[in-house]
Amino acid sequence: MLEIDDLTVDYGSVRALDHVTLRAPLGSITTVLGANGAGKTTLLRAVSGLARPASGSISFAGHRIDRRRVEDIAGLGIAHLPSGQGVIVELTVAENLRLGSLISPKPPAGRKEDLDQVYDMFPVLSQRRRDVAASLSGGERQLLAIGTALMSRPRLILLDEPSLGLAPRAVAHIMAVLRRIHEDSGRTVLLVEQNARSALSIADRVVVLNLGRVVIDEDASALAADPRSMQRLRHAYLGF
């Protein structure tokens, strides 16, 4: 379980997160939605240790992590995929995946098995294992970034807008992949999205941020089925 309590993060005089409290239960997909500048990226950065809170706390699997170093947090099994990053374009697909295993707590013997699992899940990466990542399409790069994260055997995956800039078919594929990762391995996923429709289609829980504050925190299917909640979601995005 990821537990965030009363978390406030400032960038100088800008308050990016304002007393945020939320829970991402073990094995759930929680999506964090909100307009530009709502604080979504900052929330992920605070969990992975890249942004330091002014106050509040973050705990994962019983460990307090908000004052720990980035590498220690990664070592607890938290993988962070920042938006549009996570792949080294000069390296081949196989080299990128091998890099992902470097922070795995598993001994090297387990890495071949992990690699086979990633290739099994993403056949296109297996076909293109010797190609440099620069030659992949946007959707394939995103799959490689997710595959690389999986090589570190994360217990919690933080994904920042994996659908950004992708064609609708690629977005649908990424969402199906996330659902499968979650169903196959019970990994906990915290997914930041602008694309509310696709995120809602796979999420168990929805948190909506507006100007750094939590304005909705609900079960995803209940929210999608309730016109008043959907109205509140639109309001949080568009302000009317």
CA distance 73 to 52: 13
Q: Which of residues 37-76 bind ligand ATP (CB under 6 A)?
A: 37-42
> Is 162 among the residues that bind ligand ATP (CB under 6 A)?
no
Which residue's structure tokens are 């168990």? 204
Contacts of 9 (CB under 8 A, 6+ apart): 15, 16, 17, 39, 42, 46, 51, 52, 53, 54
> Is 13 among the residues that bind ligand ATP (CB under 6 A)?
no
Least Cβ distance, residue 142 to ligand ATP (angstroms): 17
Which region among 8-16, 104-112, 128-136, 151-159 touches ligand ATP (by CB under 6 A)? 8-16
Length of the chain: 240
Residue from 13, 36, 228, 240 binding ligand ATP (CB under 6 A): 36
Residue 26 identity (one-letter amino acid): L
Which region among 31-39, 151-159, 177-185, 221-229 touches ligand ATP (by CB under 6 A)? 31-39
Least Cβ distance, residue 87 to ligand ATP (angstroms): 19
> Is 20 among the residues that bind ligand ATP (CB under 6 A)?
no
> Please, are residues 205 and 218 in contact by the beta-carbon 8 Å criterion?
yes
H-only helix segments in 109-226: 111-121, 123-127, 138-150, 168-185, 196-202, 220-225
Q: Which is nearer to ligand ATP, 37 or 56 (CB)?
A: 37
Least Cβ distance, residue 12 to ligand ATP (angstroms): 6
Site for ligand ATP, rule CB under 6 A:
11, 14, 16, 34, 36-42
